[in-house]
Structure 1
């Protein structure tokens, strides 16, 4: 497996180390020089060996560039990031899950490899693998390894329920993710197991978290705060601080991807936060999402229209920018809204709330004003 990746990126050129969140920016002339060294079987240029030693503490002096550096070619569009739901199945049964019914279905391993090849050809450098729960997919090890072989920096979003298993941790230590984000659902067994609907889940999560932290994986924690665990919010924060791990809090829940409102009653009102005004995002422009069947959409929320990447390949992504533009139009109940310049949700998210017939105060400034009167 290669030690470094070099790739064009939005007018610049990068050198990355698999599994590391850090990177080096290099001028085009050095990218060309490095590419020539790889194709010509030459040694790693001295300037790169010095920079790598300073950044990552590894000595590549005198090493052959071929086999050490993987050269990524530019994609035909501007896409550099993607998320992929390898499946929607999960071993937890959280009532606040935005996925709703969590069916374990999708592409076989041949299809998964095809999808990853399309993503790489599109120029995707940073790939987030998620689910459902990605680590329970039997194809996860093969797909994860193949993404690394293609030169993608892989981030994993997980509930951490399988990290205590030696073969899972061994894979992640051998090929470290650039980041692994673990969801936390409570600070005690009673609360955690109740929220996840899985007896013994807290014990397995704790064991896996301690093993992953001890192994030096790049971890961060997502503290999911709901009515059921809000009384342990401070204990969850203290846990993250004790482990010296970065963490973020999520209390604002959304309807399911099917447009139903079941998760919303689980919100903890005192922990809800005001989103920043929505000023645009790269969805469908430099970023896209793929579901378990290889259908590309602008993001996890704006799932339709979508593009079948297995059938259409990279060329299908040419339509995604137009889809993004159409989905961002203020329509339906938002047409003519005088607060649109300060709206805190994107149009696809607002549409999901509207389809779920959610009260305005869950997502709209008008509703927030009414709720505080």
Structure 2
């Protein structure tokens, strides 16, 4: 397997290393030189120097380029990032989950493989693999390995409950993730099992985190604060610190992807925070989201007017930009609002809050 990836990225060309942070910009002439290089030829001196400057534990001097380097081809599409829900099924039943009903269904592996290949053709370099809980999917390992072989920098979003399994640890050693983001639902067994509504979930989380830390996986923890565990917020942060793991705290609960408000009861009122002003994003233009059935939307939130990637092929993505512009511009129940220029959520998310009949304070400055 390759140790380096040279790839177009937006309007530039970059050199990245799976499993590692950082990278290097490549002048266009260097990228074109790598594209034209016979895989049996030794790596150019300038490449060896650039690699040493970025990662001092990797030396490609004199090694055949094909042994260490995968060169991504240019794409006529503008996409560079994507997220993929492998499934909606999960081994937890978290009270706050934005996915709502957790149904274990999706595409057969040949369709998953085909969609991954279309993503690579569309220019996707950074791929977030999520769920549900992606590691319980029967095709997870095959899908991960295939995406890695296509030259994608992979991030796994997981509850960490299966990270202790040796087959997963072996997979991540062979095909290193760029990042493994683990959600944390409490600092004790009582709070963790209560929020996930699964007895023994805390034990699996600790076992998974210990194994992942021992394997030196590139971990980041998402500390989820809810009504059940709010009193443990600092304890969760302290535990991340003692583990030496990066973390980020999330306190605002959102409605389900179907606009359901049943999960909003998990919101800790003392931890409800007004978000920063929403100033726009490139959803649908430089990145997109794909659900378990290959239905592509502008993001995880704005799922209206989905495009079937297996049925329409890569040409279906041509409609995504117009869909994004329409969803971002719609006003719904907010027409005439004098504060619309300072909204703290995008229009697709505001629509979910409105459908869920959420209190204004949870998403609107009028609250």
TM-score, normalising length: structure 1? 0.96
Quote the offset at 1:358 in angstroms: 1.3
Alignment of 1:70-89 (within 5 A): 70-89=70-89
Contact map agreement 1:38 1:69 (CA 8 A) in 2? no
Contact map agreement 2:70 2:151 (CA 8 A) in 1? yes
Structure 2 residue aligned with 1:371: none
SS at match of 1:66: helix
1:188-242 CA-to-partner distances (Å, cap 9, x unmatched) read 1111111111111111110110111121111000000000001111100100011
Quote the offset at 1:168 in angstroms: 1.5
Quote the offset at 1:255 in angstroms: 0.7
Structure 2 residue aligned with 1:177: 177
1:345-371 CA-to-partner distances (Å, cap 9, x unmatched) read 10000001111111211111112xxxx
After TM superposition, which residue ranges in structure 1, 4 or more long, deviate above 6 angstroms? none
How far apart, CA to CA, are the structure 2 residues paired with 1:174 and 1:63?
20
Structure 2 residue aligned with 1:50: 49
How far apart, CA to CA, are the structure 1 residues paired with 2:313 and 2:45?
39
How far apart, CA to CA, are the structure 2 residues paired with 1:196 and 1:261?
18
Structure 1 residue aligned with 2:131: 131
Structure 2 residue aligned with 1:197: 197
TM-score, normalising length: structure 2? 0.98
How far apart, CA to CA, are the structure 1 residues paired with 2:2 and 2:312?
30
Quote the offset at 1:157 in angstroms: 0.2
Quote the offset at 1:287 in angstroms: 0.6
How far apart, CA to CA, are the structure 1 residues paired with 2:63 and 2:23?
20
Work out whether 1:338 is the aligned partner of 2:338.
yes
Work out whether 1:164 is the aligned partner of 2:151.
no
1:24-44 CA-to-partner distances (Å, cap 9, x unmatched) read 1010011111222246x3210
Structure 2 residue aligned with 1:281: 281
How far apart, CA to CA, are the structure 2 residues paired with 1:314 and 1:240?
41
Structure 2 residue aligned with 1:255: 255
How far apart, CA to CA, are the structure 2 residues paired with 1:17 and 1:122?
20
Structure 2 residue aligned with 1:306: 306
SS at match of 2:154: strand
How far apart, CA to CA, are the structure 1 residues paired with 2:330 and 2:104?
34
1:140-175 CA-to-partner distances (Å, cap 9, x unmatched) read 000000000000000000000101212122211222
Cα gap change, 1:173 to 1:68, in 2 (>3 Å): closer
Contact map agreement 1:164 1:205 (CA 8 A) in 2? no
Contact map agreement 2:274 2:363 (CA 8 A) in 1? no
Structure 2 residue aligned with 1:327: 327
Across the two proteins, how many residue pairs are aligned to each other?
366
RMSD (CA atoms): 1.0
Return 78-87 or 53-62, whichever deviates more. Answer: 53-62
Contact map agreement 1:84 1:127 (CA 8 A) in 2? yes
How far apart, CA to CA, are the structure 2 residues paired with 1:286 and 1:302?
15
How far apart, CA to CA, are the structure 1 residues paired with 2:67 and 2:326?
44
Work out whether 1:95 is the aligned partner of 2:118.
no
1:79-133 CA-to-partner distances (Å, cap 9, x unmatched) read 0000000000000001110111100000011111011001000000000000000
1:43-86 CA-to-partner distances (Å, cap 9, x unmatched) read 10001111112222211111111242111112222100000000
